[in-house]
Structure 1
Amino acid sequence: MDAQLFTHNVDNLGFNPKYPQPPAYIKVRHKFTKEKEFDHLFLAQELRSRTAKGEGANPSHQSGSAASQNPVWAAEFSKDGKFLAAGGQDKVLRVWVVLSTAEERRAHEIIEAERKASGGESTHLSAPVFQQKPYREYVGHESTILDLSWSKNNFLLSSSMDKTVRLWHLSRNENLCTFKHSDFVPSIQFHPQDDRFFLAGSLDTKLRLWSIPDKSVAYWTQLPDMITSVAFTPDGKTCIAGTLGGLCMFYDTEGLKFQSQIHVKSTRGQNAKGSKITGIQTKTSKNKADVKILVTSNDSRVRVYNMKDKSLETKLRAHANTCSQIRATFADDTTHIICGSEDRKAYIWSTSTPEGEKRTHIPVEMFEAHSSITTCAIMAPRKTRQLLSASEDPIFDLCNPPPVTLMSREHSVTGGSKPPTEAGGVATKVAKRSPAYISRTLHPDGNIIVTTDYTGSIKVFRQDCAYTKRMRLDNWDTASVFSKRTTGSKIRPSSIISRSGRSRRDSTATQPPDERIMSWRQDLALDGFEEARGEGSGVVTPVRGGSPRKRRSRVSGVGGGAEVGLGSPGLGPEGVGREGMRL
């Protein structure tokens, strides 16, 4: 009976660990929208993209100002959201791993504490997304890396100005295969359904479909201009190639037979003849009805076309892209488009224009990401946020506290995973994650943005989705929990609840989430007993009256056990409320 009475899921309402405040929020500007979607954005982490002097192979031989110009031209998340790859002018392909377990986060914190020991401890919240040290550093390219592509099985392709495409896999430290071309290869992409094939576009004007098992070209065709960008449609049945002059050409994947073309150009002005296409991405729309084609070009425009009839649906402007290989990308749910810029900013457009708004007035938000050209800007997929939420992340845990189960001492002997506490004889175990909890791990307002720049800097920005909750609960250590939730009145400064609650919160700030929840729960129960505990051998039973702070006590005799009621409005015949507990 006791075990059944005690065993239940903890209500996580009010779980508020005392984490430090995040660093100062970055100023985000907005146009054509009344409210910002990307508010409370802060710099969470900066990744090292250049090999330190004396560390590893392939050092740069540049000197002076040229040495500081080491742009990262490509950055991409893996399909499962667990890895981030980046490459650029230093010729090294690096892969970082997303923190996905509590053990990985603790190991990261130990390393960071040792690294910062000489400079002093930071008072701001540390909310990293990646392990600081790269998981892999692939060396092999002899010139600048231009593009990257992940397969669904975590194979990784890199193309370069050394006229090669190289194949890698995270289980291996070395290059698996090299595919040679006759000129630079600005763009590559794995087949979305069959990763035995990939598409490569070269400045030699040839579009090639490579067969990896055969290590040979399965099909190829020649275009009228240099190829600067390539892509597949989501079903893999159509190939798309963009050219230096602004042509966007469509081919059947089987045999590379020509279908149609679009000339990406302005209707007037100097860009009416067409501009270089720097990026092409295709994505199935949110309602799964259409396929959208996202085309970035050097006229500082991003255009969205409909695959079905090749019609122009949206033209986005605000950023600067006149001479760089900057490309825009969709968020994985297609609700936003993000792009770097030559004016050092990152731009984010909303794809859901309100009814009645002009099609040219697309809501856009922007923030200054770097001190030089922002070469890449991408948003982490939902799978990355889900992985991060399992690592005791200080922001996501506050938004969506981890589920825990309370158990009695008797039940914990047979089924508990942790020893019972001395105070209440209660043990905890991690509860099975419910579908509701899993759905909340998506954290739609906890966006993660990765940007790179012309100097080799890689920054990770995060949106503080816990801001509202943190502000709402920030005064718990100076006000009674009961008075705040029931009457809203402040308790006297000498209150036992206020005094003991403050000390316990400080002592549990560094505990794992499930232990913090348990400690908080026990504090509520113990605070109620402390005020009315006597010196005799009897047991005191506090009863809540009209005021949360006024309690009446009833002493029961020794020998029959104690009945404890927490002041339910209707007491039963034995004087025990429905929420009472028999110890």
Structure 2
Amino acid sequence: MRNSQFRNLFLAQELTGGKQPEPRYAKSAPQTAIGSKISSGGDATIWVADFSLSGQYLAVAGKDRSIKVFKVIATEEERRAQERYESQFSVASKTPLAPVFISQPCRDFKGHSADILTLSWSKNDFLLSGSADRTVRLWHPSQPTCIRVFQHDRTVTSVAFHPTDDRFFLSGSFDAILRLWSITEMSIIHSAPMADIITAVAFSPDGKVAICGTFNGICIFLGTEGLVERSRMCIQSSGSKSGVCFKITGLQTISSCDSIDKTRQARLMITTNDSLVRTYYLADYGLQYKLEGIRNQSSQIHARFNDSGEYAICGGENDEVHIWHLNSADLKEGHERFHTHSEAVTNAIIAPKRTREIVNLSQDPIYDLCGCPKIKINDALENCSSSHLGDHIIITTDTMGEIKVYRQDCAFDRRHHVSQSYQATQ
């Protein structure tokens, strides 16, 4: 596109997030959470990845039944140590060394006995994981082992921490029951039976509404108190004559500034297996955008907002990542894509602003060239003004257990200018 918001992307780091597949897996096709085939990868497939709300951690999990938590490089000492580590394994390259994470996970949580299908971080860095082993487990990076286990009757497909009170969380599973749990009491506070397998759950940004999506494409809105249904809608293509609704593969809510009237609006993003992503206004369930371009016909791949709500990003069953600039006057003009993995892209995430602020404190070679002023570490998350033009960080994962970290080279124009000035003096 003519005015790319994500120009000068480069591969800054590669991490390993799953057990690497043996050659015999090369032509096998593992199944997704609901039984439909997606791509090769065997035991390495990463089903889910998510940044902590603090921006300090990235968690990934999948078929190898473990959760790997990677810590963002936060100090100059950590960066020097990471550079020494990478220099042992990397050959000389023209690509600038600009890692975002410490390569070795700070935690490799084990305890699940089947595929891990869903993760959710709380505001206090607690982490929930849901699995085909019929359990939800609670973790924290400060603890080496599982803190608590919440037993279910069937495969757990989705979990979501309450956004304002992390004593509570939602879970959805194959048994078609939406549950609201109390962590402190280790019990179910409310439950609501659905008519179909629950494939995704979420809270409204204020936590007052619980939302669940189903295998047959129904999105249901319930009051969190009591889980009493308020409304529902069927997600189907406008041109569909059969009235068939499509499986909901992901739900995400956000409260952000509307590009038209500039007021804060709560919005809901719904990803479905008709290869579309839709955003709705939660106030009246009105459709805002319909985002096209991805290939998502049978998997659990889902789109995500970035933390400001300005962009949406999604992987796909091919090797593409798609990004939509939601404040663009023309969504087609504001749609970008790039090729990344050789396999299906199971997750694509734009790192939150807090992650970029943390990276900026570590003598990062990219941000330092952009001329961001240095600040005290204790004030980093509150007062850092490290918002460089074109400084995005993008994380992608695939069915081969690979994690790729892409960065925008926000210092590209400055280096180019310096280079031209130098050449002019010669």
TM normalised by structure 1 equals: 0.67
- Report the residue type matching 2:229 in the other structure: F
Q: Is the 8 A contact 1:328 1:339 kept in 2?
A: yes
* Alpha-carbon shift at residue 68 of structure 1 (Å): 3.9
Q: 1:325-364 alignment to 2 at 5 Å?
A: 325-354=300-329, 357=330, 361=332, 363-364=334-335
Alignment partners' CA distance in 1, 2:124 and 2:55: 12
**Structure 2 partner of 1:553:** none
Farther off after superposition, 296-305 or 107-116: 107-116
Alignment partners' CA distance in 1, 2:413 and 2:337: 22
Match of 1:80 among 19, 43, 54: 54
1:238 corresponds to 2:212: no
* Alpha-carbon shift at residue 174 of structure 1 (Å): 0.5
1:448 corresponds to 2:416: no
TM-superposition CA deviations, 1:400-454 (whole Å, max 9, x none): 25459xxxxxxxxxxxxxxxxxxxxxxxxx999999x942x12241100000111
Alignment partners' CA distance in 2, 1:350 and 1:124: 27
Larger-gyration structure (1/2)? 1
Alignment partners' CA distance in 2, 1:309 and 1:64: 47
Q: 1:55-204 alignment to 2 at 5 Å?
A: 63-65=24-26, 66=28, 68-69=41-42, 70-116=44-90, 120-204=91-175
More strand as a share of residues = 2
Alignment partners' CA distance in 2, 1:234 and 1:298: 25
1:218 corresponds to 2:193: no
**Structure 1 partner of 2:3:** 35
- Report the residue type matching 2:167 in the other structure: R
* Alpha-carbon shift at residue 272 of structure 1 (Å): 3.5
* Alpha-carbon shift at residue 50 of structure 1 (Å): 2.8
Alignment partners' CA distance in 1, 2:167 and 2:207: 12
Aligned-pair identity (%): 42
- Report the residue type matching 2:360 in the other structure: S
Q: CA RMSD in A?
A: 2.4
| Ranges in structure 1 where 5+ consecutive residues have no aligned partner | 1-29, 53-59, 405-429, 480-489, 494-583
**Structure 1 partner of 2:15:** 47
Q: Is the 8 A contact 1:265 1:271 kept in 2?
A: no
Q: Is the 8 A contact 2:18 2:400 kept in 1?
A: no
* Alpha-carbon shift at residue 49 of structure 1 (Å): 1.3
Match of 1:467 among 392, 412, 418: 412
Alignment partners' CA distance in 2, 1:228 and 1:432: 40
Aligned partner of residue 290 in structure 1, secondary structure = strand
* Alpha-carbon shift at residue 289 of structure 1 (Å): 2.6
Q: Is the 8 A contact 1:91 1:141 kept in 2?
A: yes
Structure showing greater relative contact order (alpha-carbon pairs closer than 8 Å, 6 or more residues apart): 2
Distance 1:362 1:203, change over 3 A: farther
Aligned partner of residue 388 in structure 2, secondary structure = coil
Distance 1:300 1:432, change over 3 A: closer
* Alpha-carbon shift at residue 290 of structure 1 (Å): 1.4
Q: 1:279-294 alignment to 2 at 5 Å?
A: 279-286=250-257, 287-294=262-269
Distance 1:452 1:395, change over 3 A: same
Aligned partner of residue 80 in structure 2, secondary structure = helix
- Report the residue type matching 2:58 in the other structure: L
- Report the residue type matching 1:199 in the other structure: L
TM-superposition CA deviations, 1:479-518 (whole Å, max 9, x none): 6xxxxxxxxxx3xx6xxxxxxxxxxxxxxxxxxxxxxxxx
Q: Is the 8 A contact 2:256 2:265 kept in 1?
A: yes
Distance 1:431 1:317, change over 3 A: closer
Match of 2:338 among 347, 358, 367: 367
Distance 1:313 1:186, change over 3 A: same
- Report the residue type matching 1:92 in the other structure: S
Q: Is the 8 A contact 1:282 1:293 kept in 2?
A: yes
TM-superposition CA deviations, 1:342-392 (whole Å, max 9, x none): 1210000011132xx5xx746210000110111100000001111101111
Count of equivalent residues:
408
- Report the residue type matching 2:322 in the other structure: Y
Aligned partner of residue 171 in structure 1, secondary structure = coil
**Structure 2 partner of 1:531:** none
| Ranges in structure 2 where 5+ consecutive residues have no aligned partner | 29-39
